[in-house]
Amino acid sequence: MAAELHLHLEGSVPAADLGLEPYQYTGFSGFLQCFKSVVQCLNTPEDYARITRALLRELGHAGIDYAEVTLSAGVVLWKGQDLRAVFEAIRDASAGANILWHMDAVRQFGPSAAMQVARIAAGYAGAGVVSFGIGGDEKTGPAEWFQDVFRFARDRGLRLTAHAGESDGPGSIWQALEIGAERIGHGIRAIEDAALVSHLARHQIPLEVCLTSNVLTGVVASIEEHPARLLYLEGVPITLNTDDPAIFGTTLAREFQIAREGLGFTDAELEQVASNAYRFRF
């Protein structure tokens, strides 16, 4: 069995299930267009319930017995949809499954929009929603904008994460930590700052690493250049994740295979990486 901590619900939907052409893109901006094409097809709570049921089937086939799944809640609100109705449909569809939900705000939408997400997420703290965080464009939505939002969410019992150090450098990770992020989504550009690597290792702050995602979005040029093993060898706790498995054409088993064959992780090291997903779950 296995666990996964960085998995986007919307990115788990095969294009054919939505009547779309196969996903094709180049780089990070192209990926975002694919993601946008998915959310444009999700217009009712039942649409979200349907893709949740499909994801549960895939997790079962993959032998994943625990997952924290991200809902792009900021996008739901941006589209003018009822986030509470959407989440309750998702929660009902996943009843009985060993899944907890993460509500993500969109950095570039700003702190007011993020606070709307946090308020709704807080209403479901302990009732399906385990965490709150920020994703989107690190450069146009710096983490420091969201300090009050993170404090609000934390004070209401939500755990905190942030996508950082993916499309922007180590300064983005430092900012995320300063506002209270307990885990970092991606975070691989920490390797550019020795002091940050030491800090992550010393304080055992985990990085949710997504190998295939980082190659296909152009964050790294090739799997051989991915810094995941260097970070691991420096003592930084990492987990392996699929991110948006349908868009990136991957599975959790494949991510572990890539780590072994492309980065030289040993079986013993990968056992530790796998156990990290349980150790650092919320």
Identify the DSSP state of 117.
Answer: H
Residue ranges of E strands in the chain: 2-8, 64-71, 99-106, 129-135, 159-164, 183-186, 207-209, 238-240
Residue 176 lies in a domain: yes
Residue 180's pLDDT band (boundaries 50, 70, 90)? very high
Residue 275's pLDDT band (boundaries 50, 70, 90)? very high
Instruction: Please answer whether residues 164 and 193 qualify as being in contact, where contact means their C-beta atoms are separated by less than 8 angstroms.
Output: no
Q: What is the model's pLDDT at position 88?
A: 99
Nearest to 37 by CA among 217, 257, 244, 212: 244
Identify the DSSP state of 125.
Answer: B
Instruction: Please answer whether residues 115 and 149 qualify as being in contact, where contact means their C-beta atoms are separated by less than 8 angstroms.
Output: yes
Q: What is the model's pLDDT at position 11?
A: 98
Residue 216's pLDDT band (boundaries 50, 70, 90)? very high
What's the mean pLDDT when you consider all of the chain? 98
Q: What is the model's pLDDT at position 120?
A: 99
What is residue 141's three-state secondary structure?
A: coil
Q: What is the model's pLDDT at position 211?
A: 99
Average pLDDT over residues 187-207: 99
Residue 242's pLDDT band (boundaries 50, 70, 90)? very high
Instruction: Please answer whether residues 67 and 278 qualify as being in contact, where contact means their C-beta atoms are separated by less than 8 angstroms.
Output: no
Q: What is the per-residue pLDDT across 7-36, written as a single tens digit (0 to 9) for each?
A: 999 999 999 999 999 999 999 889 999 999
Residue 131 lies in a domain: yes
Distance in angstroms (rounded) separating the CA atoms of residues 162 and 146: 10
Instruction: Count CB neighbours of 117 within 10 A.
Output: 27
Quote the tokens at residue 234.
């420096």
Distance in angstroms (rounded) separating the CA atoms of residues 157 and 74: 19
Q: What is the model's pLDDT at position 185?
A: 99
Q: What is the model's pLDDT at position 122?
A: 99
Identify the DSSP state of 132.
Answer: E
Residue 279 lies in a domain: no
Q: How many domains does the chain have?
A: 1
For the annotated catalytic residues, the residue numbers are 166
pLDDT over 90, % of the chain: 98
Distance in angstroms (rounded) separating the CA atoms of residues 38 and 58: 18
Residue 282 lies in a domain: no
Distance in angstroms (rounded) separating the CA atoms of residues 27 and 48: 27
Residue 278 lies in a domain: no
Instruction: Please answer whether residues 153 and 121 qualify as being in contact, where contact means their C-beta atoms are separated by less than 8 angstroms.
Output: yes
Domain hosting residue 142, numbered range: 2-273
Q: What is the model's pLDDT at position 274?
A: 99
Residue showing tokens 């550009």: 189
Report yes or no on whether pTM surpasses 0.85: yes
What is residue 262's three-state secondary structure?
A: helix
Distance in angstroms (rounded) separating the CA atoms of residues 206 and 67: 16
Residue 170 lies in a domain: yes
Query: Which CATH number belongs to the domain containing residue 128 in this structure?
Result: 3.20.20.140
Phi, psi dihedrals of residue 104, rounded to the nearest 5°: -110, 130
Residue showing tokens 């942030």: 162
